[in-house]
Amino acid sequence: MERTQLCIFPKELISMRQPFIKLISLLVALLGLSTALVVGVAFVLYLSFSGVQLPSLSEGPQDIPVEAVEIPVVKALVDPASVWKASDWSLMDKEPNAEELNYGKELVVNTAEYLGPKGKVKAMSNGMNCQNCHLQAGTAPFGNNYTAVAATYPKFRARSGTEEDIQKRINDCFERSLNGKPLARDSKEMNAMVAYINWVGKEVPKGEIPIGSGLYEVPLLDRAADPARGKLVYENQCASCHQTDGKGMAKPDGTGYLYPPLWGESSYNHGAGLYRLSRFAGYVKANMPLGATFEQPILSDEESWDLAAYVNSMERPKKDLSQDWPDISKKPMDHPFGPFSDSFTEEQHKYGPFKPIKAAKSSSK
pLDDT tens track for 256-277: 999 999 999 999 999 999 999 9
> Taking all residues of the chain, what is their mean pLDDT, rounded to a whole number?
88
Taking each helix axis from N to C end, the angle separating 227-237 and 301-311, rounded to the nearest 10 degrees, works out to 100
Give the chain's length.
365
HSE-CB for 65 with a 13 A CA cutoff: 2
3-class state of residue 220 by DSSP: coil
Q: What is the pLDDT of residues 153-202, one digit of tens each?
A: 999 999 999 999 999 999 999 999 999 999 999 999 999 999 999 999 99
DSSP code for 155: E
Asked if pLDDT for residue 46 goes beyond 80, the answer is no
pLDDT at 132: 97
pLDDT at 365: 75
Lowest mean pLDDT among 22-31, 95-104, 133-142: 22-31
Quick one: 215-365 is in which CATH superfamily? Cytochrome c-like domain (1.10.760.10)
CA separation (Å) from 184 to 75, 115, 117, 153, 229? Answer: 44, 12, 17, 19, 42
Residues contacting 235, CB < 8 A, separation 6+: 244
Q: Which of 176, 143, 159 shows the shortest CA–CA distance to 77?
A: 143
Cα 288–Cα 294–Cα 296 angle in degrees, nearest 5: 80
Beta strands 249-250 and 155-157 are unpaired
The beta-strand segments (E) located in 216-342 are 249-250, 257-259
Asked if pLDDT for residue 62 goes beyond 60, the answer is no
Cα 350–Cα 352–Cα 357 angle in degrees, nearest 5: 100
Residues contacting 185, CB < 8 A, separation 6+: 167, 171
Residue 50 pLDDT class (50, 70, 90 cuts): low
pLDDT at 33: 62
pLDDT at 282: 98
Backbone φ/ψ region at 200: left (φ over 0), alpha (ψ -120 to 50), beta: alpha
Residues 203-226 have a mean pLDDT of 97
Domain ranges of the chain: 84-212, 215-365
Beta strands 162-164 and 155-157 are antiparallel
pLDDT at 258: 95
Please give the Cα distance from 333 to 341 (Å, whole number). 11
Encoded amino acid at 17, one letter: R
3-class state of residue 156 by DSSP: strand
What is the domain class of 84-212 according to CATH? mainly alpha
Q: What is the pLDDT of residues 289-298, one digit of tens each?
A: 999 999 999 9
Percent of the chain clearing pLDDT 70 (strictly above): 80
Domains 84-212 and 215-365 share a fold: yes
